[in-house]
Structure 1
Amino acid sequence: MLLRLGIFLGCISLGFFAKAQSDSVVLKSVTVYGLPDEKYLAGGQFYALDSALQSQQASRHLGEILAFQFPVYFRNYGNGMLSGISMRGTSPSHVAVRWNGININSFSLGQADFSILPTIAFDDVKVHAGGGSARFGSGAFGGSVLLSSAGTTTNILSVSQEVGSFGRYFSSLKGSFRVGKFSSSSSLYRVQAKNDFPIPGYGERQPHAAYWQQGFVQHAQYSFSNARRVTIDYWFNDSHKEIQPTIGNHNSTDEQDDRNHRLSVFYEQNTTQGLSKVGGGFVDDKIIFNGTLSEMVRWIASASHQYTFKNQWNISGSAEWNHIIGKVKEYGPTSPEEDRVDVAAAIQKTFKKVSASFNVRQPFITHVTAPLLPYIGADVVLFENAAQQWLLSVNGSKNFRAPTFNDRYWQEAGSRDLLPETSYAAEAGLGWRYHNVKVNARGFYQHIDQWIQWIPMEQGIYRPRNVKQVRTDGIEAGIEDQANIGRVMLHAKLSYQFTQAITLETDDTDAASVGKQLIYTPLHTGSGTVSVVYKTWSANVYLQYSGKRYTESSNSSVYALDPFVLTDLSLNKSWTQNQHDFILSFQVKNLFDKTYQLYAGRAMPGRNFNLKISYHLNRKKQ
C-alpha cells in the first residue's frame, strides 16, 4: 500500500512540471534558528561528503563512496553484498546510522547494511567520528552516519543512465516543482548487475552473485509562513541478492530480499521563543532469506525545542519514543514488543575564542537498565588572523549500545538479562588552516565494556553473553588543499588513520584473542581524492588503502588478508544550453587491476568500466 502511495505521489510530481513552470513562485527562505549537531558536539570530528563526488558516483552504494572519502573500513561480503562499516576499531553495530533523524540500524541484527543504502537516495551525508551516544543514542561508539533526503527544487527534471561491466545498469529519474507554499521532489532509481566478474587467479567467473535494487524517495513540504512548515519524507527501497558464495563454492543457492519502508512527518515552527519541532515516523524492515520472512516494525514519535538565551546560550531539549515489534519466527510463537524512550538535553556557549558544549541523554528501555550518557567538548582558537588559524579540539563521552532483539529474544538462545554495552571515550585534536591549506591531526581513546559476544555453550549452542572488554586507540590525520593554476583548478584531499583495537578480556572459549587486534580491523587505513577541473572538463582520482587484516582472533598471519591500494579514475565532460545541462562521465574502477578481498573468501572484481550520461532541466532564474 505504501509503495503504491509513493508511486502515486511521484507520478503527480513528474506529471505536474508543465503547469508548475508557468505558475510557480519562489518561496521566501525559511530561517532556522536552531544550531546543527556540529555546534552541540563541540570538540568532535565531523566530515561532510563532497557534493561533487556524491553526484558523480550517485549509482554506487554509500559504503563505496565513504571508503574513498574517509579513513574507514567496510567488511563487504562480496561485490554488492552485505557491507558493514567499521570506525575507529569498533564493529559495524557500533556505528549509528540515522536518516532524517531516525535510527535505521537493524533492531534485530544491530547494524546497517550499506550495500542497500544507495547514494542517489540522499541529498546530504555527514559523518561524526567518535563517541556520540549523548546526541545520537544507542550504538554511537565508533561514530555516526547522518543522512538527509530533504529534497531539492533546483532542477525541474534530472535523468541519468549508466552502463557498466558485468551486466551492470543504473537508471535514475528525479523531478521537483513548487506551487505557492507547496514544494515537492521525487526520485526513482534502479540498479542491476549480473555480477559475473572473472575471479582473479581462478580462471572462472563469479557464480550466483547477481543483484538488483530499486526504490523511490519522496519529499513534500508546505510552508504556512516564513517561520512555520510541515514536511513529509518517504523512502521505499527494494533489493534482491543472490548471496555470493566463497571462492570455489559452486553449490550455493542462498538468496535474500530486503524491503524497507521509512516515513517521517514533522512540523517546525520558528518564533521568538525558539525553534520547535514535533513529529514522528514509521519504519518497516523486511528480510526474506530463502523464502523465510523476518520483519521489524517501529512507530516513532519525537519532540524537540531549541532556544537562544540572551544571544549567548543555546539550549536544546528533546524526547523520542520508539515502539518496536519483532516479527521473527525464531523469536517464538509471540512477537516480542518493547518501548524505548530517550530524553536528552544540550547546552552550547560561544565565548570569545572558545565554543563549548555539554550534552546528556537518558534512555529508558523495556527490561534494560540504560546508563546516563554525558558528552562534554570544546573548540579553542589558539591563534587566528586573516591568513591562518590554529584550533584545539577536545571532548569526552560515555556511550552505550542496547542489546539487539536477536540478543534478547532468539528462541532457546537469547537472554533478557544482558547488560547494555558501554564505553568511555576521549579525544583531542589540533587543526591548522593556512589560506586554502587545511591540516589536522587527532588522537582518540575508547574503553568498551560488556561487549556482547555469541559464544558456544552446552550441546554446541551459541548464546549471547557480556564477556568482552576492548580498548581502541589511535591517531587520524588529514591534509587538504585547493589551488588555481591559470584556468585549471586543483583540489586534493588525503586522510590516514592508525588504529589499535585490542581485546583486554573475554570468555575462556576465545582466550587466544586476549592482547590481540580485533579481526577485520586494519592497523592502517587511508583514503584520498585528487580533482582537476579545466573549463567544462574534469578528472578525478580516488584512492583507498587498507593494511593487513586478521581473520582469526589469534592473529595468525597465515590467514590474514593482504594490504591493498585501490585506484578509481573518472573523466567528465559537461555542457550547458540555456536551462539544459548535460554531463558525460567515463569511469575506470580498480584501475590497476588489484586482487584484493574485503572479507575472507569473497572475491572482488578486477578492473571494470562504467559509462554515464546525465541530463538536468534547471529552473529559470527569477
Structure 2
Amino acid sequence: NIKYAFYRTHYVNNDDKQVKIDNLYKQKEVYISSANEYEIKEFWRVSASYDFLWNTLDADVYGFVKPDRISQFLSVATALNLDRFKVQASALATFIHDRIKGQEAPADKHVLSPAVFMNGYPLRNKDFSIRAFYKQSFRMPTFNDLYYADMGNSKLSPERVTQYNIGLLYDHTSNRIISAARLSADVYYNRVKDKIVAYPKGQQFRWTMLNLGLVDIRGIDVTGLLTLNPYKDLYFTLRCQYTFQRAIDVTNPADNYYRDQIPYIPRHSGAAVANVQWEGWSLNYSWIYVGERYNQQENIRYNYTQPWYTSDLSLSKDFQLGKVSLRGLIEINNLLSQDYDVILNYPMPKRNYRFTITVEI
C-alpha cells in the first residue's frame, strides 16, 4: 500500500476582543506499507509487516520550527488455530526520528510492544467462548498535538499503555425465528503512562494539550444482540451496549485531583439500536447515553458536566438498476431536539436532517 496526503489548514480569527490571528499550516505525509503471510501448517500461520511514514509540517508563523518526522514500524506475528483453542502473539517495533529546524530535536524513540490474544471454546458447539488478551501500545504525539499555535505543546511525552482483558462470549446463529443471539461481557484493566489529553480553551481551533503522568483505568463492557426472522425477508434486530469505566489520575498523592476521574470520561455510558429490514428497506433507531463527567482534573461542582442522551432515526432503501447499485438514505438526528454539550461550551446541533444518495458502479 502506498499513500500520499496533503493537508492545508487556514485559521483566521478577526475578533476585536482577542489577538487577531491569520495562520496557514501545510502538512505532507508519505506512507508505504508491506505485509506478508506464510502458512506453516493449516492451523499455524506467521506474518511480518513493515510500515514507513514520513511527515512534514510548515506554517507562516514567525519562528516556526518546521518539524520533520520519519516513523518506521516492524511487526511480526503468529497465530495457532486449533479445534478448541486459538492463540495469537505479536511484537511491534517502533522507530521514531524527529528533526526540528534551528532547535535540538527530541531523542530518537525505539520501542517494542508485545501482545498476546487467546480464545477457548469449552462447549462442543462453540457457541460459548472465553477470551483474554495482554497488550502494550505506544502512541507518539502528532504534529497537531505538538506544534499548532495556541494548541500544541512541544514538550508532550509519548503515551504508553499496558492493557489486560478477560471476557465471555455467547454467539448463536440458526435458521429459526431467533436467527442470531449474541451476549458478551469483558472486564479490563489499563495502566496508562503520560496519557495525552486535550482541553478546550473556548474556541474550536484552540485546545491545550498535556500529559497526565499516570492513569489507572478499570472497566466493564457488556453488549447484547438479538435478531428475529418471523417471516421470509423480514428481520428485527436489537443491539444494546453498556460501559462502566473508572479512569482516575494516580500521578501524585499531593495533587488535589489525586484519584479523581479524568476529564470528560463518564463512569457510565451506553447505547441501544433497533433495526427493521425488509426487501431492501431499513428502518433504524439509535439511542446514545453518556453519564455525568467533569471538564477539568478536579472533580468538584464547578467542573461538573451534565449527562446527555440523544435519539436518531434513519430510513434507507437499496435499488438495483442493471449493474448499478443505489442507496437512498434519510436521517433525522437529535430527534427530540434536545440541548446538550459533548464538551463544555460546544453546544451540539438540535434536530437536523441529512439526505444521502450512494451510487456504486
Q: TM-score range by the shorter chain?
A: 0.7 to 0.9
Percent pairwise identity: 21
1:321 positional shift: 2.1
**Following the alignment from structure 1 to structure 2, what is the Cα–Cα distance between the partners of residues 415 and 589?**
38
Residue correspondence of structure 1 range 190-589 to structure 2 within 5 A: 266=1, 280-290=2-12, 291-329=22-60, 332=63, 335-366=66-97, 367-385=107-125, 389-405=127-143, 419-435=157-173, 436-451=180-195, 468-487=213-232, 488-505=234-251, 511-535=255-279, 537-573=281-317, 585-589=329-333
Give yes or no for contact 2:90–2:114 (8 Å, CA) kept in 1: yes
Give yes or no for contact 1:360–1:372 (8 Å, CA) kept in 2: yes
> 599-608 or 373-382: which moved more?
599-608
**Cα gap change, 1:406/1:528 in structure 2, threshold over 3 Å: closer, same or farther?**
closer
Residue correspondence of structure 1 range 138-177 to structure 2 within 5 A: none
Equivalent AA in structure 1 for residue 72 of structure 2: V
1:302 positional shift: 3.1
**Cα gap change, 1:342/1:434 in structure 2, threshold over 3 Å: closer, same or farther?**
closer
Aligned residues: CA RMSD: 3.2
**Cα gap change, 1:485/1:515 in structure 2, threshold over 3 Å: closer, same or farther?**
same
1:583 positional shift: 5.3
TM-score, normalised to structure 2, is 0.79
**Following the alignment from structure 2 to structure 1, what is the Cα–Cα distance between the partners of residues 171 and 216?**
32
Give yes or no for contact 2:328–2:358 (8 Å, CA) kept in 1: no
Equivalent AA in structure 2 for residue 496 of structure 1: Y
**Following the alignment from structure 2 to structure 1, what is the Cα–Cα distance between the partners of residues 328 and 32?**
44
Return the match for 1:590 from 334, 340, 343.
Answer: 334
**Which residues of structure 1 form unaligned runs of 5+?**
1-265, 267-279, 456-461
**Structure 1 residue matching 2:190: 3-state secondary structure:** strand
**Following the alignment from structure 1 to structure 2, what is the Cα–Cα distance between the partners of residues 584 and 419?**
46
Count of residue correspondences: 328
Equivalent AA in structure 1 for residue 238 of structure 2: A
1:536 positional shift: 5.2
Higher normalized contact order (CA 8 Å, seq sep 6+, divided by chain length): 1
Q: 1:37 maps to what in 2?
A: none
**Following the alignment from structure 2 to structure 1, what is the Cα–Cα distance between the partners of residues 256 and 184?**
37
**Following the alignment from structure 1 to structure 2, what is the Cα–Cα distance between the partners of residues 617 and 338?**
38
**Cα gap change, 1:492/1:365 in structure 2, threshold over 3 Å: closer, same or farther?**
same
TM-score, normalised to structure 1, is 0.48
**Cα gap change, 1:537/1:506 in structure 2, threshold over 3 Å: closer, same or farther?**
same
**Which residues of structure 2 form unaligned runs of 5+?**
13-21, 98-106, 174-179, 200-206
Equivalent AA in structure 2 for residue 587 of structure 1: E
Give yes or no for contact 1:453–1:468 (8 Å, CA) kept in 2: no
1:325 positional shift: 1.9
Give yes or no for contact 1:529–1:540 (8 Å, CA) kept in 2: yes
1:333 positional shift: 5.2
1:394 positional shift: 0.5
